Structure 1
């Protein structure tokens, strides 16, 4: 594409059309030039006009600055002060405005000739500035599941737990808290009499400590009953990962285990009728099941192999 500078004829035509209230795009179409060219010309013309207006209105003030300013002994502030003292009735501006003129090249004083020279180049950064994402990973306890490390997905070490609740009848506060190890598929069931988040948090923490359950991370859904579970995660020194809404597949082991629990406690049954001893019996039966995924070994067998050998 060939680029051409606007000649005097084109500039005069732009001025006439602009005074007739033509838009920049209309002017461009009329003269067969880009509307961006019209915009740049009018902007430059406006800037030049403002510069001329400044030179005309503050002629005496600017001349005084140019004659008396010396960055070594007579600063801009001193010149402005003296001019206002000697010529109180002549138009003048503030020191800050003079610096604006200098930065915008509206008067014949360069930025390089001022007392405090403006430094150009990249803004200095603090050494060791911490990456925001890394800071979250290192310092926050509750994180979204997208920040869960990839090694947890491999399921090659026990201690990474998934936690969910199994509800009973509608409008009933009783529920069952199910905890599943992602690696061994061992399940623990806890009876909960209410849904208060702090009650649930204390209940889970107490059960984990009393049963000496190994915990390296916790994954839960966004249920209100788990809003305070970050307290337990913090006290145990692990990370709590929150699943995305309506994404139960992100806790697949937990959902599968809950389906097996439903074989013993069908939907619609009141959880108030279920005792903790019965839940322990259900957990034992599920953990003693032969599973095809483990070559028909049980979850207890897999847990024992990890305890003794550290690998399958």
Structure 2
């Protein structure tokens, strides 16, 4: 039986998923009873007004609340005079490990963190793809195997993670999700400054962005990477930088940093000579390469 502390998008989606796969949901407790009632309605469970009652009737307690509240809630729960034997408490923060639940571990609770590598902005979509989405799990306690069994029963794809690597893992998730959105937004901004309407700019980038992501997932970074840096087009990169610099110095700096990181992939492709690679690096770093003679390389592209 699973109880949820927190009835936001993550809590409701997970509750619906577990219920859909035959796991009994005890119910929800939330700072807003209205939110708890909504979660209970979706899972045919109970909305709790008292946190103690939720804990008492649940074997697995999922803490699906904002990250900043997890530590304080763990301290609060640890002070409750309850029988914690055989209980499992699991939070869903991406950045924090189970160490945040140490006050409960000291009470004999099995503590864990379970993080789906998924956006919950659209609950119905998240529910649809959750079964195909990898989740990372780390924790400690006597009931860890029991927790793994529960997750296996509902066919969740779980990858175990070392506690000390949780922050780096979450940083990676932010880069490929949050910052991907940022990069798309920057590209749209450049297109708008080039004279396109917002909707036209989005139409322009959609096939390019989706195709690139497909190629990366199917073939890996070395095979998926194309464009002027991969071709060694120093003049093109210089032209890009000059154009961007006139519009937005901040975007210019982002372009330079991403370009330098891209060079590490280009080196693995092993298609460019060191002279061209050095020229690309110089132009990306500080434009010192402007006066070098790359005419041969550019004529041969």
Larger Rg: 1
Structure-2-length-normalised TM-score: 0.19
TM-score by length of 1: 0.19
Give the structure with the higher percent helix: 2
- Structure with more relative contact order (C-alpha pairs < 8 Å, separation 6 or more): 1
